[in-house]
Amino acid sequence: MALKGLDIFKLSPKKNCKECGCPTCMAFCMKVAQGALPLDKCPYFDPDAVAKLSEATAPPMKTLEVGTGANAHKLGGETVLFRHEKTLVSKNLFAVNLCTCMSPEEIDGKIAEMKKVDYERIGERMFVEFLFCSYVGNGVDKYVELVKKAVAADRAIILECWDVEAAKAALEVCKDTKPILDGATLENWEAMNGLAKEYGVTLGLYAENLSDLYDLVKKLEEAGNKNLVLDVTGKTAKETLANAVIVRRTALKDGDRSFGYPSIVNLNRFAKGDSRLQTAYAAMFTEKYGSIIVMENMTYAEALPLYGLRQNIFTDPQKPMKVEAKIYPLNGADENSVCALTVDFALTYFLVSGEMERSNCPVNLLISDASGMSVLTAWAAGKFSASTIKKFFDENDINNKIKSRTLIIPGKVAVMKGEIQEKLPGWRVVVGPTEAVMLPKFLKDKEYLAGAEEAEAAAAAPVVEAAPVEEDKPLNFEAASASTASAPPSARPWTSGTPAPS
């Protein structure tokens, strides 16, 4: 941060009211300087002081919001280069390229293919966030028709257009969607800046090299526009990667806010026509600072690895991926439906719940607090045990909320069955499958019923008391030796050359 805690403290109210959650104003100011708390957490800061400090304490990379409604997206706001340093704030977004050089049938086909990529993974919607509408001539009217199709596709829009007249016509069609106008260069920046201000949209900048791009940013900042994104695409993948890294490091490490804006990487300029190569490059720029990555197309085969990679990278390492520990009724389950138990690790929950929903069988999914660990990890760490399960049942009043007494536990912790049965008297504990994919068949065929009957029979069986064990008598070694010595040779075969038994 540009300011130190002591600099902020000089402008603080010095009330030590603790309303911010910190013991003193000095402690609060130190956390603000570190970026751990926002300045507006203190209600007593003087407005003039807030205005003075806001820009200095803001992230070195500007946060932008583009799009509207369900297609509103946040860009930028990063404070670190690597996730392990703190966390990455805004995930990169993907765009599919549409161009005036394409036929109407080709455009419709790409939009239809793009719409097929729309699924949920670990509670997050995975879909193509942007349509990148590129103007390469062929008339303004054709560009307007292209943009109309993009608007109808219900996605956020990026207009790549260096022609002021065409850009203005396209903005008239899509201005309500808050698009990005990617078209300002050293030659046309004044006219494009006027359009961006008139329509209230984010302006994208492009230059042949980083030196010219830096000068272009300075010109627009002097003109009062800081609602910018930087197109860092070069002639090759190597040049583009270098541009993206230098821009991000300049902003975050060197503290130069002139490069503190989100970036666009257009893979079509150096990998056109090669979907596999584009997927590889998209993975690289997901890791290395492409805020928006433009691809020629996006199919399921390309989306599955890219979105999985993105979700893993942009997960906050300071917070475990977990869901709330409670009862989740699935498929219309009620108090009489069978119960299944697992941990609160988000990936486990979404895999298990998804397979259970696929079975169409009513199930009460019980999620026990395991600190966001997987089943085996939590069991090994003592976070998923008979005692913790008993505590979960008591805290959530499971015995009174659920009348069914059949409980399915994960197959990988079958060893816990006896302990859980002891902690939960009256419940019939059944060992379920070892893999989530086996759950639909397990539930549809009611394979758990046999296990439930077995558990009920075991619980009802009379307890057999063990016979008392006689106390050990002391051994008389002298008597044993005398008895062996008096025995005839035939009773002592090892004395006549035969090896003694081992």
pLDDT digits (tens, 9 = 90+) for 375-420: 999 999 999 999 999 999 999 999 999 999 999 999 999 999 999 9
DSSP string, 202-239: EEEEE-SSHHHHHHHHHHHHHTT---EEEE---SSHHH
Residue 466 confidence (pLDDT) above 70: no
Return phi, psi of residue 162, to 5°. Answer: -100, -5
Asked if the model's pLDDT at residue 34 lies above 50, the reply is yes
> Where, residue-wise, is CATH 3.40.50.11600 in the chain?
327-458
Residue 37, pLDDT score: 82
Residue 501 has pLDDT above 70, yes or no: no
Average pLDDT over residues 123-131: 93
Which residue has tokens 């046309």?
188
* 24 pLDDT above the threshold of 60: yes
Per residue, the 3-state secondary structure of 57-80, as one string, reads: HCCCCCEEEECCHHHCEEEECCCC
Helix (H) or strand (E) holding 122: none
Cβ neighbours around 188 below 10 Å, total: 15
Q: Please report, for residues 78, 107, 365, the alpha-carbon distance to residue 132 in angstroms, rounded to integers and kept in the order given.
A: 24, 12, 42
Domain boundaries for CATH 1.10.15.40 within the chain: 5-57
Contacts of 171 (CB under 8 A, 6+ apart): 159, 179, 181, 195, 199, 201
Q: Which of 175-179, 291-295, 458-462 has the lowest mean pLDDT?
A: 458-462
Q: CA geometry: angle at 7 spanning 6 and 10, to 5°? A: 85
Give the number of other Cβ atoms within 10 Å of residue 11's Cβ. 17
Q: What is the CATH number of domain 63-313?
A: 3.20.20.20
pLDDT of residue 454: 77
As beta bridge partners, residue 373 has: none
* Residue 359 tokens, joined: 């079975």
Residue 227 has pLDDT above 70, yes or no: yes
- Give residue 48's pLDDT band: very low, low, confident or very high (50, 70, 90): confident
Residue 302: band (very low, low, confident or very high) from pLDDT cuts 50, 70, 90: very high
What is the predicted pLDDT for the residue at 35? 72
Span of 140-144, 232-236, 459-463 with lowest mean pLDDT: 459-463
Q: Which residue has the higher pLDDT, 55 or 245?
A: 245
In the predicted structure, residue 181 carries a pLDDT above the cut 90: yes
Mean pLDDT (the chain, rounded): 88
Q: Rounded to an integer, what distance in angstroms lies between the CA atom of residue 345 and that of residue 41?
A: 31
Say if strands 130-134 and 202-206 run parallel, antiparallel, or are unpaired. Answer: unpaired
Q: Does residue 199 contact residue 207 with C-beta atoms inside 8 Å?
A: no
Q: 322-340: string of b/e by CB count within 10 Å (b at 16+)?
A: bbeeebbebeebeeebbbb
**What pLDDT shows up at residue 488?**
57
Give residue 474's pLDDT: 59
The HSE-up count of residue 197 (CA atoms within 13 Å, CB side) is 12
* pLDDT at residue 464 tops 90: no
139 pLDDT band, cuts 50/70/90, is confident
Task: Decide if pLDDT at 502 tops 50.
Answer: no
Half-sphere exposure for 427 (CA within 13 Å, toward CB): 28
pLDDT grade, residue 441 (50/70/90)? very high
Kindly state the tokens that stand for 367. Answer: 């999620």
Q: Is the pLDDT of residue 498 over 70?
A: no
User: Which of 203-207, 315-319, 350-354, 476-480 is most confident?
Assistant: 203-207
Inform me whether the pLDDT recorded for 496 exceeds 50.
no
Residues in the chain: 502
Position of tokens 């219309």?
332
Mind spelling out the 3-state secondary structure of 452-479?
A: HHHHHHHHHCCCCCCCCCCCCCCCCHHH
pLDDT at 489 over 60: no
Tokens of 481: 């030796």
The number of C-alpha atoms within 13 Å of 212 and in the hemisphere containing its C-beta is: 13
pTM above 0.85, yes or no: no
Reply yes or no on domain 327-458 having CATH 3.40.50.11600. yes
Determine the pLDDT at residue 478: 59
* 72 compared with 47, residue with greater pLDDT: 72
Query: Amino acid letter at 199?
Result: Y
Flag whether pLDDT at 347 surpasses 70. Answer: yes
Q: Which fold has domain 5-57?
A: 3-methyladenine DNA Glycosylase II; Chain A, domain 3 (1.10.15)
Average pLDDT score over residue span 68-92: 92
Does residue 40 or residue 162 have the better pLDDT? 162
Name the helix (H) or strand (E) containing 332. none
Binning pLDDT at 50, 70 and 90, where does residue 265 land? very high
